[in-house]
Amino acid sequence: MSSMGFIIGFIITLVYFKLNFKTGKRHWFEYIIASLIIATYVLISVYIDLGDYALPFSLVIQILVFYFGIRMRLLDALFLGTLYIFNYYSSRGIVLSAYSLIVNKNIQEISSSSALIVISHITSLLSLLLLIALVLILKKERLKLLFSVPKQVFFLTCYTLIEIAFIYMVNQGRYILDNNLWYSLTYFFTSLLSIIVFSYILRNILNLIKLIENEVYTVKLEEQLDMQLTHYEKYQSYITEMAKFKHDYYSVIKSIQTYVLNAKNDEALTFIKEILAEEQEINIPILEKTSNSFIVDAIIFDYSNKCILNNINFSSNLKFPNTIKFTQLELMKVFTNILSNALEASIQSPIDKRFIKIKSSAVNNWLVVSISNNYYNEIIIDNNDYVTTKSDRVLHGLGLKIVNEIITKKGGFTQASVNKERKIFTIQLSIPKTIEWG
C-alpha cells in the first residue's frame, strides 16, 4: 500500500492540521519523536514489503505522529489516522478497479505488475485532492467545531474503522473471485459509495453540531436579556432609594433646625441617632457611575458584589467616553460575557490568587479596555478563540466569540492572551472613539 506519494500526502495533511488545529502545549522532544516516527516509517515502507501488515502498521504510525506532532487528544489523532487510511484505501479501490475495467485485466494480476506503482501515485494524488476538497467544502471552522464534540468524533472514528475493514475485505476478494468484471465493478462502487456515505454522515453531524451551537447561543442570549432586566431593576431600586432620601432630606434638616432654635439639644441628638440607625438598616449601595450607560454601571456593580461573595479581589477603573457608539444590548453582551467567564475561571482558583481587574485607557483615538483574571484549568488561544482542554469544551468560548463579533462590527478588534507562568488570562478590547454615542 505504501508509496512515496502516500507518505508525501500524509506529511502535507500533518502540516495542515499542525498549522490550523492547535490543541495543546507541545515540547521539543515531541517534535523529535514525531520526526523519528516518520523517518522510520519511510525507511520501512521503501525497503520492506509488509504485505497484509501494511494497513495496521500505517494506521498506528499515523496516529502516533498526529498525537506527538500536533499534540492532539488521542481520540482526535485516532480519528485523523483512520480518516487518512480510509480516504487512501477508498481512493485506491476506485483507481485500481477503474484501471482493471479499462484494460480488462484481473486486479490480482495488476497488483503484481509494474503498473501498480503508477496506480499508487495516482491514488495518493486522488486521496490528497479528496481531503483538500473535504476541508474546503466543510471549512476549517466547522472541522474545529467537530473536534470540540468528543462523542461525535468517537462515532466517526468507529464508523471509519468499520469502513476500512469492509473495504479491506472487499480488496481481499481478488484472491477468491475469478469474475473480473463483477469483482471490479463491486470494488469500484463499494469504494465510491463509502466515500459518499462518509461525507454525507460527516456533513449531517456538522450541521447537527451547528444547530446545537445556535440553540445554545439563543439560550445564552435569553439569559443575558434576563440579566439585563435584573440589572435594570437593581438600578431602578437604587434610584428609588436615592429619590426617597432626597425627598426626606429637606424635612430632616428642617426638623433639626427647629430643635436647635428651640434649644432642644437632647431631642435633636435623639432625632439624629434615630436617623443614623435607620440609614444603617437601609444600607443604600454605592453605585459608581462609569459611563452614560446604566447597563454598564449596573453590570460592574453586580459583578463587584459577586466577587465579594466569592472572595475575589475585584478592581475597576472603567471609564466610557461619550464618543463610543454601542446599543445597551451590545454593551450588556460584551461585559456580561467577559465578566461571567472571568468569574467562573477565578472561582476555580485558590482563594488567595483570585482576582478580576478592569482597566481602561485612551490611546490616540482608541479606547482600550483590558480585563484580566486568574484561571486554574489550562487554556490556549487559537485565533482569539478561547479554548479549554476540558472534555466538556463543546461550546466553551462562545462568549468570547460573541464579544469579538460585536467589537469587530464597530470597527475595533479584540486580543486575547494567556500568561501561563502566572496563570492570568487577559482580553483587550480596542474600540475607535471617532463615532458618537447612539
Of 43-52, 197-206, 309-318, the least confident = 43-52
Q: How many Cα atoms are found within 13 Å in the side-chain-facing hemisphere of 394?
A: 17
Question: What does the block give as the cell for 326?
Answer: 454601542
Mean pLDDT of 348-359: 91
Question: What does the block give as the cell for 376?
Answer: 486554574
User: Locate cell 500533518: which residue?
Assistant: 14
Does the pLDDT at position 387 exceed 60?
A: no
Note the pLDDT tens digit of each residue in 132-184. Answer: 787 777 676 777 778 777 888 899 999 999 998 888 888 877 767 666 788 88
CA distance to 241, 252, 260, 269, 310, per residue, from 272 (Å): 19, 9, 12, 5, 36
* CA atoms of 164 and 259, how far apart (whole Å): 97
Entry pTM? 0.56
- Higher pLDDT pick, 108 / 76: 76
- The pLDDT value recorded for residue 370 is 92
- The pLDDT value recorded for residue 380 is 58
20 sits in which H/E element: helix 4-20
Of 136-145, 237-246, 265-274, the least confident = 237-246
* Residues 125 and 5 sit within 8 Å (Cβ to Cβ): yes
* Residues 70 and 21 sit within 8 Å (Cβ to Cβ): yes
Does the pLDDT at position 437 exceed 50?
A: no
Does the pLDDT at position 113 exceed 60?
A: yes
- Higher pLDDT pick, 310 / 127: 310
Cα 166 off chain centre by: 35
**Alpha-carbon torsion, ordered 58, 60, 66, 71, to 10 deg:** -170
* Structural domains of the chain, ranges and CATH numbers in brackets: 4-212 (no CATH), 289-438 (3.30.565.10)
Give residues with Cβ within 8 angstroms of 121, minimum separation 6: 3, 4, 5
CA geometry: angle at 72 spanning 71 and 77, to 5°?
120
Burial of residue 217 (CB within 10 Å: 0-12, 13-18, 19+) is middle
Closest-CA residue to 318 (of 367, 363, 374): 367
- 292: phi then psi, degrees, rounded to nearest 5: -90, 20
* Residues 62 and 110 sit within 8 Å (Cβ to Cβ): no
* Residues 129 and 156 sit within 8 Å (Cβ to Cβ): no
- The pLDDT value recorded for residue 426 is 92
